[in-house]
Amino acid sequence: MSTTERARAPIYDIPEAAAVPEVQRHNFLVMAFYQISLRCGWIFKTESIVMPAFLDALGASAWVRGFLPLFNRFGQSVPPMLLSSDVTGARFKKRIVVITMLLFAFCFLAIACIWKLHANSWWMPAIFLLIYALFFMVVGVHNLAARAVQGKLIRANRRGRLMLAGNVFGAIISVGLAYWLFPKWLPVEGPHNFYGLFVFAALMFVVSAVVALFVVEPEDPKRKTTRRIYNAWEDVKRTFREDPRFRKIALVGALTNTSIMLFPHYQPIAKEYLNLALDNLMPWIIAQNLGMAAFSLVLGPIADLRGNRTVLRLLLIVMIATPLLTLYLINQPSWGGNYFWIIFVLVGMTPFSIGILCNYTLELTETIHQPRYLATLGLIVAIPAVLSPLVSYSMDFYQSPVPLFSAVSLLLIIAWLLTFRLPEPRYGEISAE
């Protein structure tokens, strides 16, 4: 690539006020503690393990489980798109992070209380899904604000280390909590206490909100918010129209995120095909979190040294293998259950990949435009999840996970091939090598 071409793609950095070394160190530590405490709450509501088990306890079928990824991605796409101008215009974005964390806690306290009072009611699955949908709408706004704070305060070549710190130490502490508490609340014999599980998750969300208050954030100028739907859609079109690099990462992200459609089904098919009981939840959760920590130790430094494009390529190789290995193991009834924990080690790469996609996107533009870019990315990667209830019904229709799991693997292969057309914004590239 020539010098002229490189000059056409500026390399963006954080504001000068946030770049002071003492402020950088303080914010890095605070945001690491924030991520650790958030993970300690999130482990008790894992989408791939705990929430499907909860729906199983309510007697829900596969097509109902398919609403979990739909609500997950809808909530993380449409509300952020509609509110991106509010996040952009906020003088202190950490305030949005704190408020949304407290709303996390409220949602799970509500689920816990309703479960305790009406666990066997016929309408319980519908109420749970409603609160779950509201929860992920809040999650979407929270993630937009939290990533905007990260883009504003943490240098690009330190975001991988922040991810490493949050994932590794968060995994160690949260796994210890899971090892201690899961057998008390989800015992092999006796009633399952989802009430205690969800109340503890809510408590950790409150702790995370308190930690976020200590971020040192330079004040942004107050900006007028725009009309919601019309201007949000115009922002989406503008982002696509003006930045060809964004168009490429959006396509890769949409294909990569097809893997989330499989999240609600790993635990139930292990139960159905391998006769694995609920007492496997705790070791599976430990495997998933320790696996993410191990990958973070390797991939975090690579992201800082080589850029997020390289890490995304490596992640996709693992993600391609996960559904294929799942199909292989469930067809080995005599011994497949002994190794099914490996699946949950690999499943942890999907949420990790979302973080890498967002970190890549942060490097495409300056701070003021980052919420718009992130909101647009969230909208695009949510498209596959809209089909989740329909494609999940294929498991009921075919009485087999093979069509769905094979199709997702194929789409992930296409995503991996497309990464070779991605430029690396870290080095000012405007086209692939």
The model's confidence at residue 51, banded by pLDDT at 50, 70 and 90, is confident
The model's confidence at residue 11, banded by pLDDT at 50, 70 and 90, is low
| pLDDT at 60 > cutoff 80 | no
Show me where the domains of the chain are located: 3-427
The residue that leads in pLDDT, 106 or 81, is: 106
The model's confidence at residue 208, banded by pLDDT at 50, 70 and 90, is very high
Number of neighbours of residue 56 by Cβ within 10 angstroms = 16
Query: Which tens digits make up the pLDDT trace of 66-78?
Result: 777 778 778 877 7
Contacts of 218 (CB under 8 A, 6+ apart): 15, 17, 18, 152
For position 319, what pLDDT does the model report? 94
The residue that leads in pLDDT, 265 or 130, is: 130
| pLDDT at 193 > cutoff 50 | yes
The pLDDT > 70 percentage for the chain reads 90
CATH 1.10.287.130 fits 3-427, yes or no: no
For position 56, what pLDDT does the model report? 77
Number of neighbours of residue 168 by Cβ within 10 angstroms = 21
Query: Which tens digits make up the pLDDT trace of 410-433?
Result: 999 999 999 999 998 877 777 665
The model's confidence at residue 6, banded by pLDDT at 50, 70 and 90, is very low
The Cα-based distances of 156 to 8, 24, 55, 425 in angstroms read 19, 12, 40, 10
User: Rounded CA gap, 318 and 322, in Å?
Assistant: 6
Structure tokens at 384: 């596959």
- φ/ψ of residue 23, rounded to 5: -70, -40
Average pLDDT score, the chain: 84
Nearest to 77 by CA among 131, 135, 144: 144
For position 3, what pLDDT does the model report? 40
DSSP conformation letters of 113-137: HHHHHHTT-TTHHHHHHHHHHHHHH
User: What would the mean pLDDT of 106-114 be, rounded to a whole number?
Assistant: 93
| pLDDT at 16 > cutoff 50 | yes
The model's confidence at residue 394, banded by pLDDT at 50, 70 and 90, is confident
Q: How far is CA 428 from the centre of its chain?
A: 27
User: What would the mean pLDDT of 335-364 be, rounded to a whole number?
Assistant: 88
User: What would the mean pLDDT of 149-178 be, rounded to a whole number?
Assistant: 86
Query: Which tens digits make up the pLDDT trace of 140-159?
Result: 899 889 988 888 888 877 88
- In the DSSP assignment, the letter for residue 336 is G
The residue that leads in pLDDT, 115 or 429, is: 115
Structure tokens at 231: 């201007």
> Quick check: 40 and 256 in contact, CB under 8 A?
no
For position 156, what pLDDT does the model report? 79
The residue that leads in pLDDT, 350 or 1, is: 350
For position 4, what pLDDT does the model report? 42
The model's confidence at residue 179, banded by pLDDT at 50, 70 and 90, is confident
User: Rounded CA gap, 240 and 377, in Å?
Assistant: 10
For position 432, what pLDDT does the model report? 60
- φ/ψ of residue 269, rounded to 5: -75, -30
For position 431, what pLDDT does the model report? 65
Structure tokens at 428: 């000012």
The residue that leads in pLDDT, 129 or 106, is: 106
> Quick check: 157 and 425 in contact, CB under 8 A?
no
User: Rounded CA gap, 263 and 66, in Å?
Assistant: 9
User: What would the mean pLDDT of 353-371 be, rounded to a whole number?
Assistant: 87
The residue that leads in pLDDT, 248 or 219, is: 248
The Cα-based distances of 31 to 64, 146, 363, 393 in angstroms read 36, 9, 19, 40
Q: How far is CA 302 from the centre of its chain?
A: 20
The pLDDT > 90 percentage for the chain reads 30
DSSP conformation letters of 158-180: GHHHHHHHHHHHHHHHHHHHHHH
Structure tokens at 172: 């160690």
The model's confidence at residue 49, banded by pLDDT at 50, 70 and 90, is confident
Q: How far is CA 107 from the centre of its chain?
A: 18
Contacts of 267 (CB under 8 A, 6+ apart): 48, 49, 52, 53, 56, 281, 284
Nearest to 63 by CA among 328, 411, 398: 398
> Quick check: 257 and 356 in contact, CB under 8 A?
no
User: Rounded CA gap, 286 and 177, in Å?
Assistant: 10
